[in-house]
Structure 1
Amino acid sequence: MIKRFIIGLLVLSTTAIVAQSNSASPYSYFGIGENFDPLTVEQSSMGGIGVALKDTYHLNFTNPAANADLRYATYAIGGSLTFLNLKESNSSQSGNSTSLRYVSLGFPIGKKAGFSVGLQPFSSVGYSLLNRVYDGDNIKELTRFTGIGGTNRLYASFGTYLFDGFSVGVEVGFIFGSLQNDILNQVQGTMLGTKHQEKLNLRGGQFKFGAQYKKELKNKLQLYTGAAVTFDSDLSANGAERMYSLSIATSGAEQVRKILYDKSISGNLTMPFKTVFGVGLGKVNKWYVGINQEYKDAVVSSQGINVIGNSQAFRYERGSKFSIGGYYLPKLNSISSYWDRVTYRGGVRFEKMGVLADGTGTGNNLTSINDFGINIGFGLPLPKQLSSVNIGFEYGQRGTMINNLIKENYFNVKLSLSLNSINWFKTRKID
């Protein structure tokens, strides 16, 4: 029964991830959209740490070497609900969105190795920006920038111990999806507007290597270290680009008047090289505190297409992220108190997103876009099982209102189910 349930849930979850739209952020305008870090709800509830963390019961998306510690077949599914408030100099806007963030399955291979496979959203585009040009108090020109779509990542990950305390892992991923970016321009006094549209299908691979080392200290303390490297890779992009004039009815419906050009386009997008390393200290199934430091190369310009490219309004720089967090588990096998078996998590992160933007469009006031988040979470064990329901809460701020930019305040509610069993892949025997 459990096998059928997992297979059915896996199929439904995979369909939902591919079909969904994940972002409403204006900062999804850059590149291939808002990038999603591969994190479980458990990891994000600790500020995003995990490169050094070893866990027998939960998956780890940051470091493939952590698969070596899996001792139970584990199915994990996670989603989030986001409440977003956007502020600029003279206005504000609110909204919310829901999304499925991952569906994954992992299992041990012998006593020293493990394997996992899954599907996750990789990036999402969901912006709508309006630029006005004034002649005195009157609007002279309007330009609307809109984008939809996103990419997903299908991955397979393997980790194994080379010797006591030291494990390594590799992960291969396949990124796929589609994007659409539109620029609609209208000039006061003209009957028709013009629209530039670019549609792209993206495909490409990704490779990650990781390592972890654990050393036992005095009083059963464990020292953990880890590092992971995601190598730069090219995504092929194929699609169409066209420009046309149009009229817009009072209802908002668009009617194409004349196609100025319509052509096929193709090119490559290079995903940047990324490294993350960290250290942690703790006691097994009791408590853990760790830090992560991540660096990401600047995004390079695309070739043959317009999705990625520096301009007067923005350019790319090297990104970084620092995270600190951990968990506390009062008593794993407590009989007298359920709350003693709950895992309490918390953490914070500070991120430099790798984008410099100037809301004035002149290029003279480029400002780094930063992101900050504070997290708490709880792992609620299910009765008579090793499985758990995990819930996390995150409050964060992204961007700034300086130089005519937009500041985001967001609140995320994250929920996951982690199902563990030692019998999923065993054949039942009849004497």
Structure 2
Amino acid sequence: MENKYAFLSCLILMYLNSFSQSISSSPYSLYGLGSLYDSDFGSIPAISSSGIALPSDDFINNLNPASLGYLPQNHFMFDIGGKAIGTTFQSSSKSEKRNNFQFSHIAFAFPVTKKSGFSVSLRPYSSASFKISNLKLPVENSSEYYTLDAIGAGGLNNFDFSYGYKINKKLSVGVSAVLLFGTTTDDRNYTVANSITAISKKTNYNGLRATLGIQYKIDSTFTIATTFKAPTRINASKVQSVQTVANEVITTVESDIASDTEDYYMPLEIGFGISKRFKNNLNLSFDYEKSFWNSTNQSELYGDFVNQDRFALGFTFMNKKNVRNYWDRIQFGTGFNFDTGYLEVDGKRVNNGAVSFGISLPIENTFSAVNIAYSYGQNGKIGDGLIKENYHKVSLNLSLDGIWFVRRKIE
């Protein structure tokens, strides 16, 4: 037991040390607060991040706080995970490969009463990590062009407290209070003819957001669910330095000037999910989510925010012939998702699609498991000023289950 706690402590320390590092290396993380990050718990990555209607009866479901109403009594659940991502970026003229690894989340949950549960989690919300060289862009209202060189890092973290309550055998509700906070750095050089303008900016963000979730069991095999993420404002402040270089003469325009900047607005997001079990072995989950970015009235110099649609379909299978047989308790999962994206660059959508496969390996005779998932996906496309990303992603989640306040029958 002491070895388990020592191992767990090492994982937590490694996670906290790496949490501030950037995760995404996508050039699309140049926009807004960076690329949104999918840090799902348990076996959810294997089913392509579907599961709004799944209860937290044997794992922590981070997609719907209402699921916490189904936490088993006297069980304390802990989940920690990481991802390894290999990406190939392709444009019409060249390609580039990048690899990175990052711990993605840490969470724990436990029942408060027979009908309610509570969870706390820390995970990335977005990641801005990009490097762009010699990008040629048109000067507005002119036939001339300028060259952009940019490098950025940082992003937002998501620290949430969730509570779920089971009103009766069929209906459960839940709420999450989410603190979003983080820092981004952005260094850009604009070259026009023989003149260079260098802007170095560090921006701090913080804000609060609420999520409401509902799950309703139509019968023992069929559940429907919905989530509502409230629109909110993310407060921003920046420290900026500006220099110009012309004819080898360097002029400092600003030096570490602190000021407020435009706040960032999170949209209303509505999700709907279903879960259907067939013959106690095969389970289907389907999610649809709509994010109303248009109503935030935000835009970027190089693109616009547009309404986003996301579809996810997943299947899990477990033999369950003999619960005492280890091989019969192994769970297999697969899924597919498609996302229209929330960015439109020069009138072209940056969408994403992925397929996933995974396995859940039980540990001892508890709900503890090692969850391994692989997914392959594509983001964007070649041409029309866009870049295509082909990525391979391996997710590793360790889900631990401990039993509290139960007297041992055999000492």
Contact 1:301–1:309 at 8 Å: present in 2 too?
no
Would the alpha carbon gap of residues 6 and 175 (structure 1) be closer, same or farther in structure 2, given more than 3 Å must change? Answer: farther
Q: Which amino acid aligns with 1:387?
A: S
1:287 to 264, 282, 286: 282
Q: Residue in 2 aligned with 1:344?
A: 332
Aligned residues: 398
1:197 aligns with 2:197: no
Deviates more, 1:121-130 or 1:31-40: 31-40
| Paired residue type of 1:383 | E
One-letter amino acid matched to 2:377: G
Residue 96 of structure 1: how far off its partner (Å): 0.6
Residue 288 of structure 1 and its aligned partner are, at CA, apart by 1.1
Structure 1 position 298 matched with structure 2 position 293: yes
CA distance in 2, matches of 1:113, 1:36: 28
The answer to whether structure 1 residue 376 and structure 2 residue 357 are counterparts is: yes
CA distance in 1, matches of 2:11, 2:111: 19
Distance 1:147 1:368 in 2: 23
Aligned counterpart for 1:259 among listed residues 233, 252, 257: 252
- For the 8 Å contact 2:19–2:103, the answer to whether it is kept is no
Residues 199 and 241 in structure 1, CA contact (< 8 A), matched pair in contact too: yes
Q: Deviations over 1:140-182 (max 9, x none)?
A: 8532122111111111111011112100000001111101122
How far apart, in 2, do the equivalents of 1:256 and 1:409 lie? Answer: 43
Calculate the TM-score normalised by the size of structure 1.
0.85
Name the amino acid aligned to 1:228.
T
Matches within 5 A, 1:228-243: 228-243=227-242
Counterpart contact for 2:304–2:343, Cα < 8 Å: yes
Aligned to 2:167: 162
Kept in 1: contact 2:127–2:155 (CA 8 A): yes
Shift of residue 286, structure 1, vs aligned partner: 3.0
Taking the TM superposition and a 5 Å limit, the aligned residue runs for 1:353-364 are 353-358=341-346
Mapped to 1, the partners of 2:399 and 2:364 lie a distance apart of 13
Corresponding residue of 1:392: 373
User: What is the CA-CA distance between 1:9 and the residue it aligns to?
Assistant: 5.0
Query: 1:112 Cα shift?
Result: 1.1
User: C-alpha offsets along residues 309-365 of structure 1, whole Å, 9 cap, x if unaligned?
Assistant: 333x311110010111121110174444x332110001100101111102xxxxxxx
Residue by residue over 1:166-206, the C-alpha shift from the partner in whole angstroms, topping out at 9 and shown as x without a partner, is: 00000001111101122212345x3x632012211111111
Can you list the C-alpha shifts for 1:98-147, whole angstroms capped at 9, x where unaligned?
0111100011122211111010001000111231379xxxx985321221
Q: Which residue of 2 aligns with 1:37?
A: 38
After superposition, the Cα gap between the structure-2 partners of 1:227 and 1:9, relative to the gap in structure 1 and judged at 3 Å, is farther
Output the CA distance in 1 between the equivalents of 2:373 and 2:276: 22
1:16–1:100 CA contact under 8 A, matched in 2 = no
CA contact (8 A) 1:153 1:176 kept: yes
Q: Does 1:63 align with 2:64?
A: yes
Match of 2:105 among 96, 102, 106: 102
Relative to structure 1, the CA distance from residue 408 to residue 59 in structure 2 (aligned partners, 3 Å threshold; closer, same or farther) is same
> 2:129 and 2:174 mapped to 1: Cα distance?
34
User: Residues 301 and 54 of structure 1: is their aligned pair in 2 closer, same or farther, counting only changes over 3 Å?
Assistant: closer
Matches within 5 A, 1:65-80: 65-71=66-72, 72-80=75-83
In 2, the alpha carbon distance for the partners of 1:25 and 1:159 equals 35
> Who is 1:16 aligned against?
17
- Letter of the structure 1 residue corresponding to residue 232 of structure 2: S
The answer on whether the counterparts of 1:270 and 1:300 sit within 8 Å (CA) in structure 2 is no
SS at match of 1:68: helix
1:38 shift after superposition: 4.8
The SS at the match of 1:95 is strand
| Distance of 1:261 and 1:126 partners within structure 2 | 25
C-alpha deviation, 1:210, in angstroms: 0.3
**Alignment equivalent of 1:319, drawn from 308, 332, 335:** 308
- Summarize the Cα distance change of 1:98–1:400 in structure 2 as closer, same or farther, 3 Å threshold: same
Task: Give the secondary structure class of the aligned counterpart of 1:24.
Answer: coil
Could you list the runs of 5+ residues in structure 2 that have no partner in the other structure?
A: 139-143
Q: 1:427 to 1:115 in 2, by over 3 A?
A: farther
Counterpart of 1:271, as a letter, is: M
Query: 1:398 Cα deviation (Å)?
Result: 0.4
Aligned to 1:181: 186
Give the counterpart letter for 2:271 in structure 1: V
Paired residue type of 2:136: R
1:132 — aligned with what? 136
**5+ long unaligned stretches in structure 1:** 248-254, 303-307, 359-365
With 162-171 and 256-265 compared, the bigger mean Cα shift is at 256-265
Aligned to 2:85: 82
Name the SS of the counterpart of 1:37 in structure 2: coil
Greater mean deviation of Cα atoms: 199-208 or 383-392: 383-392
State the one-letter code of the partner of 2:368.
Answer: S
Which amino acid is 1:400 matched to? K
Say whether residues 1:274 and 2:269 are aligned partners. Answer: yes
The aligned counterpart of 1:252 is: none
Within 1, Cα distance between the matches of 2:226 and 2:17?
32
- 1:56 is displaced (CA, Å) by 1.2
Q: Is the 8 A contact 1:14 1:119 kept in 2?
A: no
What's the Cα RMSD here? 2.7
Equivalents in 2 of 1:153, 1:427: separation in Å?
37
- Kept in 2: contact 1:244–1:256 (CA 8 A): no
Distance in 2 between residues matched to 1:56 and 1:373, nearest whole Å: 27
